[in-house]
A = this chain, B = another copy of it.
Amino acid sequence: MKSKYIEAAVYKNERISDCVFRLSVKGSFDVKPGQFFMLRAWDQEPLLSRPISVHDVDDEKITFLYHVVGRGTQILSKLREGDDISLTGPLGNGFDLDMLKGKVALVGGGIGVAPLNYLYKKLSMNEGVQVSFHAGYRSQPFGLECIQGSCSLLNIATEDACVGEKGYIIDYFEPKDYDMVVCCGPEIMMSKLMKKCEAAGVPILVSMEKKMACGIGACLVCTCKTKDGKKRSCADGPVFLGSELILND
């Protein structure tokens, strides 16, 4: 789908846990899992739009899952049905579904499950793919709409042990059983998992979150270091092969 700038109306915006909201916008969207939109529901301030991944898409709407962390997401959280919102997208490369064959593990940390939900939905339609889902949270889980009740293997860990194992999900996750790992979460989590996968010789795809200005590949503020030089996480990513990336940590 060609990326567009769209002015639309909020379909629904609901709090689903302490600081996490789910926002839907009416319309028909053709999007790859792992792609994102630049959202804007304000006029002047903050200056920039906010990159948010696609959490789900159906025939009549697109859904985002977001964590309220600052001014932009705070404004999003106050949206009510019918309010104006603008979207630029879909943006980014998204996950390459052709790479995801055999036994695939999706590993999400916190709000990182947002894009994995839609990836799961797409993958589970493909034959020859067995998907398992591994999600870590600080406390109460969220964002598993497409997964819960459908996924044959769902592991959850929470730091406060309120659901599932106690602690970090990657401590309960063993890459070697899989053909491919996909991870989206805090950079420190992705970096640790990349090492684990490297050691196990299992390829991993990660979705990078860098601060963005344009979101469309023009300004070069969102680059990450790869073995092939600096790449734009908005246009060349956000999905990168772990083996390409050079993370600081």
Q: Which residues of A contact B (CB under 8 A)?
A: 43-45, 71
Copies of this protein in the assembly total 2
Query: What is the bound-complex CA distance between A71 and B43, given in angstroms?
Result: 10
Residues of B within 8 A of A71 (CB): 43-44
Q: List 5 A-B contacts (CB under 8 A).
A: A43-B45, A43-B71, A44-B45, A44-B71, A45-B45
CB distance from A120 to the nearest CB of B (A): 37
Query: What is the bound-complex CA distance between A44 and B46, given in angstroms?
Result: 9
Query: What is the bound-complex CA distance between A44 and B72, given in angstroms?
Result: 12
CB distance from A68 to the nearest CB of B (A): 15
CB distance from A78 to the nearest CB of B (A): 10
Query: What is the bound-complex CA distance between A153 and B44, given in angstroms?
Result: 47
- Closest residue of chain B to A45 (Cβ to Cβ) is B45
Query: What is the bound-complex CA distance between A71 and B42, given in angstroms?
Result: 12
Residues of B within 8 A of A44 (CB): 45, 71
CB distance from A24 to the nearest CB of B (A): 21
CB distance from A77 to the nearest CB of B (A): 14
Residues of B within 8 A of A43 (CB): 45, 71
